[in-house]
Amino acid sequence: MKKISIGSDNMKPSKSFFTDTNILLLLGLALFLLHMFTNHQYGFHQDELVVMDNANNLDWGYIEYPPLTPFLDRIETTLFGFSLVSARTFAALAHSIVLVLAGLMARELGGKRAAQILAALVSAIAPIALIQGSLIQYVTFDFLWSVLIAYLLIRLLKSDNARGWLGIGAVIGLGMMTKYTMAFFAAGLAGGVLLTDARRYLRSKWLWGGVVISLLIFLPNLIWQIQHNFISLEFLSSIHARDVAIGRADDYLMEQFLLSSNPFTVLFWMAGLYYYFFTGAGKQFRAIGWMFVITFFIYLFTQGRSYYQAPAYPMLIAAGAVVWQGWTEKLSAVKTRLATGATWGLVGIGALVGGALSLPIAPINSSLWNVTSEVHDIFTEQIGWDEMVQTVAGIYADLPEDEKSRAGILAGENDEAAALNLLGGEYGLPKAISGGNTFYLRGYGNPPPETLIVVGFTQDAVDSLFADCVVTETVTNQYNVENDLRDSPNIYVCRNPRLPWDELWEKLKRYS
């Protein structure tokens, strides 16, 4: 018998730790840590406050969105406590998973290691992607589900394993429980199936099984909508009409290049479109291309917000990275090095610019802060919540003792009410009420308050609602940052409503 000794040539070397998959996972971990070390500089964003307040009032639906995001926030708050970092942990994780999925999509399309890394990084540095990874919002997980659907569809089309429709259906169901725009993404998927050879799956029980799974997952929210007369449709219609009136969708096309994708890496998703529609290798996956095109034009013609399309770009970028790989492999060695250097240079510049504008790293009121404030209001809307709550707490403390038990807090906006509920507990404040969005459904309490501290209303508004109102304080912040809190800065103490409370409540109902 041949002897084998330790260290002999017969021993196979151990496999390197740095496999393609592990490299993608390490990149995802690095992105996760980047978010965790940078996402606590300011305060909670107004949308986050609403999500977290809804997490304390779990239900199968809310006026503004389905229930999954508050449910996930409730889990992370239970696990990690209440803080900026803990509340944003799942958002950072979701963005990291998107990065990994983008690299895996490139692999499924034939991309080697460099193409996988390229797809992962280019997908991760889009401004909207960076922002959604920094905040706990409904768009955060909508982004993740959309990218996961694209990955599962690519795998299904490559393997021709129709059982994959069950997983796709499950993720669509999760998407519908996260954000209703998933219906448009699903419509794009349906169109992609009908317009390509993938329509053969219409005869498959697995596709229809996936449809059933998605409907079953969405069913609790659908029942909630039926019970509430589809109030979310009323909300969405109102918000869309407002968006159109103020021209919010006017820059839809331009923002596809500046926000939904990184402006320094636009060529990659354009190359991805070319791959799906004009190459032999892409024909097998053409349903992906149609899924992008159909959703793109749905949002364009219906005047949807520009970031609604953002989750569709990683599936193009993955294909674009494969096109880049094929192009560089045809070049001479010198040209390949030059092309590769130029490519990574563009990605590096894009990452620096995208990160500077989209990650919460700018010192408040610095030059960089001022630039970011011209691009978006994500950071400015994280300022002033603690001061507002402290000011209201001071007013409440100064009320006569016999009034405190009969006092309440009325907020004009749901984010103001959420901030007062989340941050006011340490001051012993009563729960805030509001006619804004889901707060309207929660009502004004029984018995209704007799004395109200009123936040977020103009003087004319409070005078029309109450016979006796006095300005007691003004909302400010230590940085003098202008944001929505400063739009109606006066805080009032009001008594004697001009209408019975049931009529007053209907008048206070608003969507925002």
Q: Are residues 344 and 404 in the same domain?
A: no
pLDDT at residue 7 tops 50: no
Please check whether residue 371 lies inside any domain of the structure: no
Name the domain count of the chain.
2
Q: Are residues 429 and 478 in the same domain?
A: yes
Q: Are residues 340 and 470 in the same domain?
A: no
Helices (H), 359-448: 367-375, 385-398, 401-404, 414-423, 438-442
d(CA 165, CA 159): 12
Residue 2, pLDDT score: 40
Choose one of 343, 358, 373: the last residue of a domain: 358
Residue 410 bridge partners (DSSP): 433, 454
Q: Are residues 229 and 320 in the same domain?
A: yes
pLDDT at residue 365 tops 50: yes
Choose one of 358, 393, 413: the last residue of a domain: 358
Q: Are residues 437 and 297 in the same domain?
A: no
Please check whether residue 44 lies inside any domain of the structure: yes
Residue 422, number of CB atoms within 10 A of its CB: 21
Q: Are residues 152 and 217 in the same domain?
A: yes
pLDDT at residue 469 tops 80: yes
Q: What secondary structure letter does DSSP report for 382?
A: G
d(CA 321, CA 311): 17
pLDDT at residue 204 tops 50: yes
Residues with Cβ < 8 Å from 476, sequence gap 6 or more?
384, 387, 391, 486, 489
One-letter amino acid for residue 84 of the chain = L
Residue 486, pLDDT score: 87
How far separated are the first and last CA of the chain, in Å rounded? Answer: 81
Please check whether residue 398 lies inside any domain of the structure: yes
Q: In what order do the strands lie in the sheet with 432-434?
A: 432-434, 407-411, 451-455, 490-497, 466-474
Reading the block at residue 31, the tokens are 């992105």
Choose one of 296, 324, 358: the last residue of a domain: 358
Q: Are residues 37 and 145 in the same domain?
A: yes
Q: Are residues 218 and 348 in the same domain?
A: yes
Q: Give the tens place of pLDDT for each residue, 414-441.
A: 999 999 999 999 999 999 999 999 999 9
d(CA 507, CA 510): 8
Please check whether residue 243 lies inside any domain of the structure: yes
Residue 14 has φ and ψ, to the nearest 5°, of: -65, 145
Q: Are residues 244 and 163 in the same domain?
A: yes
d(CA 132, CA 85): 14
Residue 487, pLDDT score: 85
Q: State pTM to two decimals.
A: 0.93
Weakest mean pLDDT among 28-37, 100-109, 478-487: 478-487
Please check whether residue 377 lies inside any domain of the structure: no
Please check whether residue 471 lies inside any domain of the structure: yes
d(CA 294, CA 280): 21
Question: Can you give the residue range of the structural domain that contains 204?
Answer: 20-358
Q: Are residues 409 and 340 in the same domain?
A: no
pLDDT at residue 197 tops 90: yes
Chain centroid to Cα 52, Å, comes to 14
Distances (CA, A) of 408 to 213, 399, 413, 430, 462: 44, 11, 15, 6, 15
pLDDT at residue 443 tops 80: yes
Q: Give the tens place of pLDDT for each residue, 234-287.
A: 999 999 999 999 998 899 999 999 999 999 999 999 999 999 999 999 999 999
Please check whether residue 370 lies inside any domain of the structure: no
Q: Are residues 94 and 176 in the same domain?
A: yes
Residue 512, pLDDT score: 86
Residues with Cβ < 8 Å from 398, sequence gap 6 or more?
none
Please check whether residue 161 lies inside any domain of the structure: yes
Reading the block at residue 30, the tokens are 């690095």
Looking up tokens 């308050």, which residue turns up? 449
Reading the block at residue 304, the tokens are 């949807």
Q: Are residues 349 and 395 in the same domain?
A: no
